[in-house]
Amino acid sequence: MTARNGHLDQNGPAGTVVDLFCGAGALSHGFLLEGFPIACGYDLDEACRFPFEENNEAPFVRRDVAEIDPAALSQEFSSDLPRILTGCAPCQPFSRYSQGHENPKWRLLRDFARLVVEVQPDIVTMENVPQLSRFRGGCVFGDFVARLREGGYRVRWTIASCLDFGVPQDRSRLVLIASRHGEPSLPQPTHTADERVTVSQTIGDMPPLAAGNSDASDRLHCASGLSEMNLARIRASRPGGTWRDWPPGLVAKCHRKATGRGYASVYGRMRWDRPSPTITTQFHGFGNGRFGHPEQDRAISLREGAMLQTFPRSYAFVRPGEPLHFATVGRMIGNAVPVRLARAIARAIKVHLEEYGPR
């Protein structure tokens, strides 16, 4: 088996992977690059079908996790390899505290736990926002962990800084690994504080681009347009600075109010010599955060956002000839697990299976 982007581990597959909530395939891609064959990915977002299948050599199944039949899921795995079930339930329900009644999307985590208990894969891994461990006093996540332990799994989890794994982005994620075969390993950092990867090291060689334009050789290297006002604002911005550096006439009305003065990072430029801020689903908009290019008068491009998420530079998101929509591609990129973090998770599971895996 070969990978379209990057290099596979050549020591043979350690297990076969089914990816729930697979999105565009970043978590699967990390496993693929570490030598794990991907059986399939499940997601409800049809836009993710092409990037998942094109880059991960596996079929995409459009299905609600609540409607997945455990017997059918079991059949997706290879019969002669350890079975690894991965998943990153959509994190939006857990990224802010409930204002009253239960969010129906919480059931996604419960359905994930139900499938684990019924299918009994050898390994389970989940990645999500750190807030999940604290959400409503930790009860949602605590219930998930308890279900796995009751189902016969040993569970370990941590809050991982993506900076420690070569991701050029200030992003933290909750990483859980559970095993039926012994105490699981957790991902081991690959980069010290002095080795953190910067914006310059990641996108510094990308072709120059004007706001509203795209590169002829890579249509994903395209930048959102800017209004005359926002063009003036970005020209008045300095890397690492804030809108407080601007002349008064450029400051937005909302920032002149006391309630808006704390949002200093919006309309900001990144710094070449630092990692980027967290790449959100709206990173392609200059006014949505510190997403301005360090020196060009534009927001970072879709391709640059994907590279800061450590997708390979050639990762395909849109079928050739089909329209490219910023909101759709931005959502797929911003929601993704950084690929280098995914690779670290895969390596930890490989180490664990070498020691404890089924014989």
Active site positions, annotated: 91
Given a contact cutoff of 8 angstroms between Cβ atoms, the answer to whether 22 and 85 are in contact is no
- Residue 272 corresponds to which tokens in the numbers above? 């070449």
Say how far apart CA 206 and CA 224 lie, in whole Å. Answer: 16
Q: What share of the chain is helix, strand, coil (3-state, %, to 5)?
A: 40, 15, 45
DSSP class of 159 = E
What is the largest distance, in Å, between two alpha-carbon atoms of the chain? 70
- Residue 106 corresponds to which tokens in the numbers above? 């919480």
Place of tokens 């020691």: 355
DSSP class of 4 = S
Given a contact cutoff of 8 angstroms between Cβ atoms, the answer to whether 173 and 162 are in contact is yes
Q: Coil, helix or strand for 50?
A: helix
Say how far apart CA 31 and CA 342 lie, in whole Å. Answer: 7
Task: Please give the torsion angle defined by the CA atoms of residues 303, 305, 307 and 312, in that order, rounded to the nearest 10 degrees.
Answer: -60
263: exposed, middle or buried (Cβ count in 10 Å: 0-12, 13-18, 19+) = middle
